[in-house]
Structure 1
């Protein structure tokens, strides 16, 4: 038995000496060798994700031979003394990866690590804003959505589910109830699709164009305030003014909605508000609404508009803003698609 034990120890030692350590493994070895008292200063500078990754590496590390530890420490000291200091951040990581990886792969890696926090894809998804995730998932097959929601945190899944269209969400619930064990190949394919199509786009879109934010602010202005600011901006920076106008969604843009969207909106707009909003509107947008109403409803609405007499511009602005906000709310819920001024083909969900 002693001979067998000695042979086993020799095999473990050789395996530990020859195996290749990952970056997290190397960090784990260094911190283990430093111990609690000496390593506390390093631990304090790590964020939560780094601590989890290194802790996981420690737990799975297994035996590390003295020779391997010595080589690792010598290598670390040599690199540290040659550079003077080590600074780890997104920029330095990207520069280092670019030395030995293709640009496309570097971009993919950096997009993922800059994305939501989490070690696994499902942890990352649990930290994505529910509106963004719901807007993406509503275009997927119910079975795919069922798999995704079954893998993320329950509270987050409930918020995402509540934002999906009602019939679609009910189908997803039924699929989740009937779901059996998902094959590894299918799960891997879903993860890869999410990584390529959703997470990468989410990371690229994390830095929002300031013109988009300003367009949202201008959309919230009343007409007089909007005109005043826009006129001043056009004098100082015509290019930015044009970009903001192109990104804004205004009452006149309701004329670009299709018939089904208009009819959906009419179910939620009170007739007095509609009459007041159309009282100050041009003929083109009035016709869009009239064409999607019955003859009787159109006549009653026109009578209401006539009965209003002269109205204050401020009241018209408020009524029109209310309709624009309702359109945006419905678009956020996936009930209608609204088009911005950027182009007739672009859809905002």
Structure 2
């Protein structure tokens, strides 16, 4: 025989919520439940499925407690400040800051609505480092007009891969979609809001780090005339391909080992002899000769392809720095100032 639960104190918060939704009946309870976020629906559903049998007295007690709690409340004022104080009662300061940053972030109830309100340049900068399949999922979930602008800012070779995956895409499994949402929330959205809120120069530097030289000049030349201090700050925060020559030999060698040979040869194409030699002398003699031969054999190449190869190597350098494998410095503060 199934045990009947007769003590309301034995129920946790989710179980109490599940009881009240069931007591409201399928029609009214489901209308209330559909207003919850997907992760909240999942948690309440788990609790509901595991409730077992609840005695009538417990149900009455829960409903009475629920109605009494709200009957005498009076006026309520929900603001950012009151929410932050409320969270501070049971969360650590870092966790509160993270949640509040997300709340104060781009407008939108769902993650995809929020993503649709992020600058297309910022979103494109982030996505170009992701797998084409992930990019395809994101672009199919945000607004079509926003997706079009983001797609136009991605490298051409990446665009073709993403378009191909969108065309072939079937229904995305729920668990895959949840993983993508979780990653966007924890790795992109929180960092985006935090950076935007504290140092707009840093996010501008990160964007310009990913642009080609023509767009960089188009943006920086008028900026240096109108806002010279901001332009200087952005330049100090940037990390360019030329800055790689100031890396310690061990760090540069580690970077070279993590780069595709063809990409590296394309990136070195057109560099002055001194900079090119700086890379070649940090390779084995055999590897250096292979790179030299590759550069000579490729002949004339598109400037855009060279720029994209250099950006690819910069992304690898930043990834290695984030993982603690190497140290890199920015151009404005000398060799001892670390970007990461």
State how many pairs are aligned: 250
Task: Give distance in 2, aligned partners of 1:40 and 1:272.
Answer: 59
Q: 1:236-292, CA deviations, whole angstroms, 9 ceiling, x for partnerless residues? A: 44454344323322121121343414653583357576342236xxx4x34523533
Which of 240, 249, 268 is the matching residue for 2:262?
268
By how many angstroms is 1:223 displaced? Answer: 3.1
The residue number in structure 1 matching 2:31 is: 41
1: CA distance, partners of 2:55 / 2:10:
12
Q: Aligned residue for 1:17?
A: 7
Rounded to whole Å, the distance in 2 between the matches of 1:36 and 1:249 is 58
Unaligned runs of 5+ in 1: 118-128, 133-152, 160-198
Q: How does 1:1-349 map to 2 (within 5 A)?
A: 12=4, 16-17=6-7, 19-83=9-73, 94-99=84-89, 101=90, 103-104=92-93, 107=96, 110=99, 205=191, 207=193, 209-210=195-196, 211-257=201-247, 258-261=251-254, 263-264=256-257, 265=259, 267-269=261-263, 274-278=268-272, 283=274, 285-292=275-282, 318=304, 321-328=307-314, 330-331=316-317, 337=326, 339-341=328-330, 344=336, 346=338
Who is 1:189 aligned against? none
Contact 1:80/1:86 (8 A) holds in 2:
no
- Greater C-alpha radius of gyration: 1
Q: Is the 8 A contact 1:16 1:64 kept in 2?
A: yes
Q: Residue 274 of structure 1 contacts residue 319 of structure 1 at CA under 8 Å; is this kept in 2?
A: no
Residues 179-222 of structure 1, C-alpha deviations (whole Å, 9 max, x = no match)? xxxxxxxxxxxxxxxxxxxx988885353524454334323444
SS, match of residue 262 in structure 2: coil
Aligned partner of residue 25 in structure 2, secondary structure: helix
CA RMSD in angstroms comes to: 5.1
CA gap 1:226/1:105 in 2 versus in 1, 3 angstroms: closer
Deviation of the 1:76 alpha carbon: 1.4
Structure 2 unaligned spans of 5+: 104-109, 112-126, 131-172, 180-184
Compare 264-273 and 57-66 and name the one that shifted more.
264-273
What is the alpha-carbon distance in structure 2 between the residues aligned to residue 214 and residue 23 of structure 1?
Answer: 44
- Residue 205 of structure 1 aligns to a residue in which SS? helix
| Distance of aligned partners of 1:71 and 1:109 in 2 relative to their CA distance in 1, 3 Å threshold | farther
Q: 1:72 to 1:107 in 2, by over 3 A?
A: same
Displacement after TM superposition at 1:45 (Å): 0.9
Structure 2 vs 1, CA of residues 91 and 32 (structure 1 numbering), >3 Å: closer, same or farther?
A: farther
Shift, 1:82, TM fit = 2.7
Q: Provide the secondary structure at the position in 2 that maps to 1:249.
A: coil
- In structure 2, the CA distance between the partners of 1:275 and 1:234, relative to structure 1 (3 Å rule), is closer
Whole-angstrom CA distance in 2 between matches of 1:273 and 1:103: 46
Name the SS of the counterpart of 1:25 in structure 2: helix
How big is the shift at 1:35?
A: 0.7
1:42 CA displacement: 0.5
Residues in 2 aligned to 1:242 and 1:301: alpha-carbon distance in whole angstroms:
36
